[in-house]
Amino acid sequence: MGLDFTAIDFETANGFRGSPCAVGLTKVRGGRVVDEASWLMRPPANHDHFEYHNVRIHGIRSEDVAGLPRFGELFPEIGAFIGGDILAAHNAAFDLGVIRSGLEVSGLAGPAYEYVCTVMLSRRCYSLVSNSLPFAAEEAGVPLVNHHDAAEDARACAGILIDIAARNNANSIAELYLSLGLELPRQDAFDPARDDLSKASLAALSAAAGGRSGAPVRPFMSGWPEEGANPLPNIDAEPSHPLYGQTVVFTGQLAMARPEAKVRSAELGARPESRVTARTTVLVVGDGFVASDLRSGRLTGKARRVLELHDRGQPIEVISEGEFLQMVGGYAGVAAV
């Protein structure tokens, strides 16, 4: 059994995961890219509005997909390309969530998938201050020119996984996970006519029924953000989630109230804290921060402290609020930031 998988990347029209407007797929056999596919599409009906934040990042507009098949109509082709492969995605919780929510609101059943998250593997196998796709691709020696082009992002994700497998002398996904002491995660098959809907789909359907386009956005307020309590991590959370087992600190203004962000992270198995210490493993930065700011120097005091600690050997990762919202199922809506 060789290093065989399909890498996938979605871009979405708005903050709901179930609003895919583009997908890229890269098929790997024996550690080599053998096929690629990509589609533009209309998101599912009633979830097909394009929000400024998403368009600004991926450049896809409603007129670019006008008249194209919707996600539910295209999924048979997407699913046929994937076949029975293990899926790989950079922040797999997001991309697997796109499949689930997109099919749920389309009234369609979905197959089970085993999957690999290259954010998780990058965190384990590299030592980067950010494991966002451009940083991980650079470490893997993979070209990434047009970030947020779904086809190119899927290709970069595939290259990262190939590099990580090579560094661990693994000839298959099973060997890689065995060498790292990990269990391959799985998204079970589902049927919206029979099974409970995901939280993301329920929230979006509720918002649509109320005539709103998505979750309410908390307006920016000057002054010191309210920290709130630090809830204990959920010991029954899914260990394959990228926040599970992490100690998370927040800095800067978030669209989501900080106490809510702490609750959401704790539900997924993280331990939220209020200041950067030797225990900190993840710093979530608000105020519109993106990973490229690590190079430009547009940083909060906490972020500078993290860079100092990282340079001293403490493995802290800096992520944007958009990345965090993807991980917790919030309204960020763009993949592989």
Which of 289, 283, 274 minimizes the C-alpha distance to 318?
Answer: 283
Q: What is the mean pLDDT of residues 60-70?
A: 97
Is 139 strand, coil or helix? helix
Give the separation between CA 135 and CA 156, rounded to whole angstroms.
11
Residues 110/114/117/121 CA torsion (nearest 10 deg): 180
- Residues 267, 233: Cα–Cα separation, whole Å: 6
- Which pLDDT value is given to residue 333? 39
What pLDDT is stored for residue 214 in this prediction?
Answer: 45
Look at residue 222 in the predicted model and tell me its pLDDT: 44
Mean pLDDT lowest among 17-21, 77-81, 199-203 = 199-203
Q: Provide the pLDDT for residue 213.
A: 46
Instruction: Kindly report, residue by residue over 163-215, the tens digit of the pLDDT.
Output: 999 999 999 999 999 999 999 999 999 999 999 999 889 988 888 777 554 44
Q: Does 217 score more than 60 pLDDT? A: no
Cα within 13 Å of Cα(199), Cβ side:
8
Q: Can you tell me whether residue 191 is helix, strand or coil?
A: coil
**What per-residue confidence (pLDDT) applies to 152?**
96
pLDDT tens digits for range 81-134 = 999 999 999 999 899 999 999 999 999 999 999 999 999 999 899 988 889 999
Identify residue 54 by its one-letter amino acid code.
Answer: N
Compute the average pLDDT of residues 261-285.
91
Mean residue pLDDT of the chain comes to: 88
Note the pLDDT of residue 216: 41
231 DSSP assignment: P
**Average pLDDT for residues 251-271, to the nearest whole number?**
89
Side-by-side strand order, sheet with 247-251: 271-273, 247-251, 282-285, 317-320
For residue 317, pLDDT beyond 70 = yes
DSSP secondary structure letter of residue 52:
H
Q: What is the pTM assigned to this prediction? A: 0.84
Q: Amino acid identity of 163?
A: D
pLDDT-based confidence at 319, cuts 50/70/90?
A: confident
- The predicted pLDDT at position 175 comes to 96
CB count, 10 Å around CB of 207? 18
Mean pLDDT of 284-301: 76
Closest CA to 106 of 194, 50, 20, 45: 45
What's the pLDDT at 332?
38
Distance set, CA 150 to CA 24, 33, 268 (Å): 5, 16, 27
Sequence-separated contacts (24+) of 163-171 with Cβ below 8 Å: 163/139, 164/118, 164/121, 164/122, 164/125, 164/126, 164/140, 165/3, 165/31, 166/31, 167/125, 168/125, 170/3, 171/1, 171/2, 171/3, 171/31
Q: Is 306 helix (H, G, I), strand (E, B) or coil?
A: helix
Model pLDDT, residue 72: 97
Q: How many CA atoms lie within 13 A of 30 on its CB side?
A: 1
Alpha-carbon distance of 56 to 205, in angstroms, equals 25
The C-alpha angle 282, 332, 84, rounded to 5 degrees, equals 85
CA 281 from centroid of its chain's CA atoms: 18
For residue 17, pLDDT over 80 is answered with yes
